[in-house]
Chains A and B, each alone.
Chain A
Amino acid sequence: MRLRTLILAAASVAVLAGPALAQELTAITGGRVLTGASVIENGTVVIQNGRVVSVGTGAAPSGARVIDARGKVVAPGFVAVDSGLGGSEISSVGDSDDLTNGANSISASFDVSYGLDPWSFTLPVARLGGITRAIVVPNHPGGSGGHNHQDDSDFAGVGDGGFQSPSLFAGQAAIIHLAEGTDILVKPRVAMVAPFGEAGAGVAGGARGAEFVQFKETLAEVRLYARNRAAYDRAGLRDLSLSRADLEALIPVSNGTMPLIVTVHRAADILQVLRLAREEGVKIILDGAEEGWLVADQIADAGVPVLLNPISNLPGSIETRATRMQNAAVLDAAGVTIAIKGNEGSIHRARETRYNAGNAVSHGLSYESAIEAITVNPARIFGMAGQFGELRPGAAADVVVWSGDPLEPLSIAETIFINGQEQAPTSRQFLLRDRYARGGEGPMPPAYSR
């Protein structure tokens, strides 16, 4: 009984502590501030009530808690795009994966937001890598989700190639934040996902020509349905190939209000997809685009943003033979809005997003553009400009104080705020590490240490 009381007391303190901190007036002073769009030396970032109050060079307001960031770097929390955070716990344990959906009648309507787990142990690990938000996407063939461990790839059926979707559409993405608490959902249904290229062709029957025709036919059915809902409900409309739920989900795609994340790799396919989007009035985001640098001007002219992994420089398939480390730099120089991804579906290795940005810099991308590509650009691409991913008044107070340049592996995220709430600097991995840090060979088994 006494133990139970203590546990309850501890729990109530923890519950109270979070919201209280989020309200607190806090000033982070003296650091090199990367706002996401610019750099302020010796800057002051003031946050309160979960939001950024001011960013500048002034003194801390009186009464504020002051965090001394002299010699440190202050940056917006990074945004993981094309991520599976919160939706998949252990890649090979299918039951813990709520990103992969094989139902025939629920494809476009598949909504990952219902499967998100705020208690996922992947979230603190990503957070310690400076990730504070994520765009969570359904797993889809041709995408970067899943583990691509080469030892396993030949026989395990895991990784991007192993999943065969029954549909052209993989479902709808959601935006999450990574703060401790019971609700990580920021916004559900922010984008639809569809594979093109080899994977999309595979879904349609094997050939690209089949997928494009099927895609157009599907949009025609969606529009027919949208114009004739009443007739559909009384069975007065011809048979349609998609379920009612999928037809509904695709209406905002068909009228250009919901962006379509198109996973596509080779340059020829990118050009075809750009044309398809123009012809159909669909708003698209390119995902992958390893050969994008060959057609950078056309992507820029179309005003289409790109989610890419800048360290993809080997042809994993025939459709990525022109992949280069300089892809990010070339697209950025052409004026394309790019967002830089983490590795392996940005779940367990989402924390490597910052290293990927650093490697883009060492291959020609400007430092400023690299920071934008993991902060403001993802917010812009997903319609959240000014709301997060940037240190500016009114934006969510996702602020990370780094021991040094955040793109360097040697730098550590020392203090992390999400929505103004300071996050505990720990994870399940840290608990394991600390348990064994002294060798694990004491008189009592490690299981007795917390």
Chain B
Amino acid sequence: MTVNRLRGPSLAALACVLAGAMALSACATTGGDDTPAADGSSDAEAREPLARGLDYAANPDPFPSTYRGLPRENMAILGGTVFDGAGRRIENGVVIVTDGRVAAVGGASTPIPAGHRRVDAAGRFVTPGIIDTHSHLGVYPSPGVQGMSDGNEATQPNTAEVWAEHSIWPQDPGFNAARAGGVTTLQILPGSANLFGGRGVTVRNVPSVTMQGMKMPGAPYGLKMACGENPSRVYGGRNSSPATGMGNVAGYRAAFIAAREYKAKWDKWREDGEGSPPTRNLELETLVGVLDGSVLIQNHCYRADEMAVMIDIAREFGYRITAFHHAVEAYKVAPLLAREGICADMWTGWWGFKMEALDGVEANVALVDAPPGGCAVIHSDDAELTQRLNQEAAAALAAGRRIGMAIPEERAIGWITLNPAKSLGIADQTGSLEAGKRADVVIWSANPFSVYARADQVFIDGGLAFDRFNPAYQPVSDFELGQPGYGVSAANVTQGAR
């Protein structure tokens, strides 16, 4: 008995530490001391812990990040025009990077700590690293051939149990190309064939042999949901549900009903300890994560009317929607999205490729950005576009200015930096050059709103991850080694490998 009484609580306490918020109820009923509870709940405390892997709350992080960051040095980036991502523009600015974090950002008089390397950015521009909230790098990698196309588990409309990180091929050369375009953080999502496509994962854009080596520590998971044409086309085409928009909504609601029941079963079992524990269900576990706020909804949803329905479903079941992706019609409900605190992740130039993309307008981003509290994000969904999100932002800025909106560049840069960080729940970590945040920094050859601007240097957590002028900092993936053209330099090509 003594052994059992000691073993039970100590393991439960360990579970509390690992599980954090998800195991609050279990933590509340298990103390660090072994005094029997007066109300007789000692039976629950005394029971044997579940076998490894059977308690969903025991280990919410079974594929932990092993990201360590690249070698870094303390530095002061001097003399450039700084867009801090949070709305400030500083001419002749100074960015102090210490131990991989932004230590200070300010004007020319900002003190430079002794021993910091001085990086001359005179005539250049300095911004936070770009964040792409909608990427399929690694899951739909290059080459796009059969055998590598791992982004859609299109076998049933609810595959909330699959995790994009288990499809990521870290050797996708697209990661390197994106980094050369200034992208330092990406959310890798499953595709949109399903109502619930699975979990997305946020990664640091560093070369790595393993997925875990890229995974951003502490970043919340996303759950990819899809409105509209894709799920109903895929499953309706197989004569199964959903075949229509109303079938889609029935599917979302049924899933959250099941998730609520699942959560209640676990809560009850933890509370009274009677009977057998519920059987772990990966699909429902992800949805429970949505209900408790630990998994963020990343919802592919083109049409404004569908967004309004999705907002009501979230209310019905008591969860939040973090972002609508491919929000082509967000401009039609911009005040609603701002009131609800939902980000709209958009393209500037994509439209017309299907009915739900028919009403795309270039001013979408600026119109979503306009109401107080609006969260306008530019995303890619594309291995080529992700390399030029700054240009997509420029086109969006031009469209806003065309209708008389006085949008400064230092605000527009937020569409590809701080706002996407909010959209991923990592704005406390990155997305702007503010003291204490990760030193994800891009030094551009020119104003990033110019088509001619190139990312000269890209720093991730203060480590130099890409340098356009130094081949030693132009990583090539295993796939790229020895391929046709590898190592061949054309006489007139002096700029970076890509």
From residue 264 to 323 of chain A, which have CB atoms closer than 8 A to chain B? Answer: 266-267, 291, 293-294, 296, 311-318, 320-322
Chain B positions within 8 Å of A411 at CB level? 398
A408 touches B484 (CB 8 A): no
Chain B positions within 8 Å of A21 at CB level? none
Query: If the complex has contacts A294-B484, A322-B483, are A312 and B384 also in contact, measured as CB distance less than 8 A?
Result: yes
B352 within 8 A of A: yes
Chain A positions within 8 Å of B334 at CB level? 436, 439-440
Q: Which of B142, B326, B454, B484 has the most CB of A within 10 A?
A: B484
A147 touches B354 (CB 8 A): yes
Interface size class of B (residues with CB under 8 A): 35 or more
From residue 428 to 481 of chain B, which have CB atoms closer than 8 A to chain A? Answer: 449-454
Query: If the complex has contacts A155-B152, A322-B485, A348-B352, are A362 and B382 also in contact, measured as CB distance less than 8 A?
Result: no
A82 within 8 A of B: no
B192 touches A325 (CB 8 A): no
Among the listed B332, B384, B399, B490, which residue makes an inter-chain contact with A326, where contact means beta carbons less than 8 Å apart? B490
Query: If the complex has contacts A317-B144, A333-B492, A433-B361, are A362 and B451 also in contact, measured as CB distance less than 8 A?
Result: yes
Q: Which of A33-41, A202-210, A350-358 contacts B (4 or more CB under 8 A)?
A: A350-358
A330 touches B492 (CB 8 A): yes
Count of chain A residues with a beta carbon within 8 Å of a chain B beta carbon: 71
B358 within 8 A of A: yes
Among the listed A93, A158, A322, A347, which residue makes an inter-chain contact with B484, where contact means beta carbons less than 8 Å apart? A322
Nearest B residue to A430, CB-CB: B361
Q: Which of B73-81, B270-278, B388-396 contacts A (4 or more CB under 8 A)?
A: B388-396
A355 touches B391 (CB 8 A): yes
Chain B positions within 8 Å of A239 at CB level? none
Chain B positions within 8 Å of A441 at CB level? 335
Among the listed B140, B353, B498, which residue makes an inter-chain contact with A154, where contact means beta carbons less than 8 Å apart? B140
Chain B positions within 8 Å of A362 at CB level? 451-454
B484 touches A267 (CB 8 A): yes
B484 touches A437 (CB 8 A): no
Query: If the complex has contacts A155-B193, A314-B142, A410-B394, are A440 and B333 also in contact, measured as CB distance less than 8 A?
Result: yes
Nearest A residue to B485, CB-CB: A322
Q: Which of A125, A347, A362 has the most CB of B within 10 A?
A: A362
A359 touches B451 (CB 8 A): yes
Q: Give Cα A317–Cα B498 distance, bound, in whole angstroms.
A: 17
Residues 243-284 of chain B, each 1 if its beta carbon lies under 8 Å from chain A, else 0: 000000000000000000000000000000000000000000
Nearest A residue to B174, CB-CB: A314
B191 touches A439 (CB 8 A): no
Task: Output the least CB separation between A394 and chain B (Å).
Answer: 32
A374 within 8 A of B: no
Chain A positions within 8 Å of B297 at CB level? none
A92 within 8 A of B: yes
B136 touches A316 (CB 8 A): no
Task: Output the least CB separation between B466 and chain A (Å).
Answer: 14
A409 within 8 A of B: yes
Among the listed B145, B332, B361, B488, which residue makes an inter-chain contact with A294, where contact means beta carbons less than 8 Å apart? B488
Nearest A residue to B226, CB-CB: A151
Task: Output the least CB separation between B403 and chain A (Å).
Answer: 6
Query: If the complex has contacts A312-B384, A347-B352, are A412 and B335 also in contact, measured as CB distance less than 8 A?
Result: no
Chain B positions within 8 Å of A349 at CB level? 349-350
Task: Output the least CB separation between A197 and chain B (Å).
Answer: 13
A407 within 8 A of B: yes
Q: Give Cα A432–Cα B351 distance, bound, in whole angstroms.
A: 13
Q: Give Cα A400–Cα B142 distance, bound, in whole angstroms.
A: 38
B345 within 8 A of A: no
B307 within 8 A of A: no
B493 within 8 A of A: yes
From residue 307 to 362 of chain B, which have CB atoms closer than 8 A to chain A? Answer: 326, 331-335, 349-355, 358-362
Task: Output the least CB separation between A368 and chain B (Å).
Answer: 15
A258 within 8 A of B: no
Nearest A residue to B351, CB-CB: A348
Query: If the complex has contacts A315-B143, A330-B490, are A325 and B398 also in contact, measured as CB distance less than 8 A?
Result: no
Query: If the complex has contacts A154-B191, A355-B451, A432-B361, are A91 and B354 also in contact, measured as CB distance less than 8 A?
Result: yes
B493 touches A436 (CB 8 A): no
Task: Output the least CB separation between B147 and chain A (Å).
Answer: 11
Task: Output the least CB separation between A83 and chain B (Å).
Answer: 14
Q: Give Cα A401–Cα B76 distance, bound, in whole angstroms.
A: 43
A314 touches B151 (CB 8 A): no
A364 touches B493 (CB 8 A): yes
Q: Give Cα A149–Cα B134 distance, bound, in whole angstroms.
A: 12
B335 touches A315 (CB 8 A): no
From residue 383 to 426 of chain B, which have CB atoms closer than 8 A to chain A? Answer: 383-384, 387-388, 391, 394-395, 397-399, 401-403
Task: Output the least CB separation between A279 and chain B (Å).
Answer: 25
Query: If the complex has contacts A439-B335, A439-B371, are A326 and B493 also in contact, measured as CB distance less than 8 A?
Result: yes
Q: What are 24 sample pairs from A and B whose C-beta atoms fall under 8 A apart? A: A91-B352, A147-B354, A149-B353, A150-B382, A153-B149, A154-B151, A155-B191, A312-B384, A313-B384, A313-B498, A315-B142, A315-B173, A316-B142, A316-B144, A322-B485, A348-B350, A355-B388, A355-B391, A362-B452, A364-B492, A409-B451, A429-B362, A433-B363, A436-B331
Chain A to chain B: the 7 pairs with minimum beta-carbon distance, closest first: A322-B485, A358-B451, A147-B353, A348-B352, A92-B354, A409-B394, A409-B395
Given contacts A361-B451, A433-B363, 6 further A-B contacts (CB under 8 A): A93-B354, A311-B388, A329-B490, A364-B494, A409-B391, A440-B333
